[in-house]
Each structure stands twice: as C-alpha cells, then as structure tokens.
Amino acid sequence: MTPDQVKLVQDSFAKVAPISGKAALIFYDRLFEVAPGVRAMFPDDMTEQRRKLMTTLAVVVNGLSDLPSMLSAASALAKRHVGYGAKAEHYPVVGGALLWTLEKGLGEAWTADVAAAWTAAYGTLSGYMISEAYGRTQVAE
C-alpha cells in the first residue's frame, strides 16, 4: 500500500466511524445474504460481535501507518478465526461484504481511489492472515 492509500483508508473510515453500529449491521446483513452458510459460525445475539468488528476495523485502519507492528495482532486474529471455523475461501466473501458496506456507508465519498485503497488494504491483510492461519499465501479480493 502506498502512503496515499493508507491516508484514503484512514480518512474514509473516519467518516464511517460515527455510524459504526449501523455499518456493522449492514455488513453482517450483507455477509449473511451472500454467504448464508457462515451464519452458524456466529452467535444468535450479534450485538457484541458487531462491536468487535468495528473495534477491530478501527485498530487495523489505524495500524496501517505502521503495518509491521500490526501484523502480530493480525496473525493471532487469523489463528483464532480458524478455531471459529473460518476457511481461506471465506476471506474473499468477507472482503466483498466489507467493500459493499463501505460503499453504502460512504455514498458519494466512495470514489474509485477510495475503493482501490480499501481493496489494497483488505488484500494485503487478508493475504497475510490466510498465510498465517493456513500456511499458504493467497490474496483475497
């Protein structure tokens, strides 16, 4: 990721943060719509899960400025997700739901450059997490 892409991701996330509860709801609704089979991996009451999602996204987005220091946390997160039943093939689906949510949340602020920056950020992080969790390099788009 370029420094400009990091800034675009961070600036656009700052616009989503005030509606984080709604954004998390939109994200999970979309995820379960496009991948209904993953619903069983989550609790019936999604309140805490939605909060965790937005907290984790905030940590990741803020950590993009110092990617090496964030990668150990990403490694641990990836390994925990294996225990929840996550598979490498889930990462592209999650990425699609995330980008779709951001597009809806940002409206006109979702530009081609912002989309490219988020795609690069998610691809970098998910590729690393897949490698850490499953021992192989794969890019999730």
**5-52 confidence digits (pLDDT tens):** 999 999 999 999 999 999 999 999 999 999 999 999 999 999 999 999
Sign of the dihedral defined by the CA atoms of residues 92, 93, 96, 98, in that order: negative
For 1-141, list the strands marked E by DSSP.
none
Helices (H), 35-135: 47-63, 67-84, 90-106, 112-134
**37-46 confidence digits (pLDDT tens):** 999 999 999 9
> With contact defined as beta carbons under 8 Å apart, do 6 and 65 qualify?
yes
CATH topology for 3-134 is: Globin-like (1.10.490)
Residue linked to tokens 């925990």: 80
Predicted TM-score (pTM) of this structure: 0.89
What is the identity of the amino acid at 14?
A
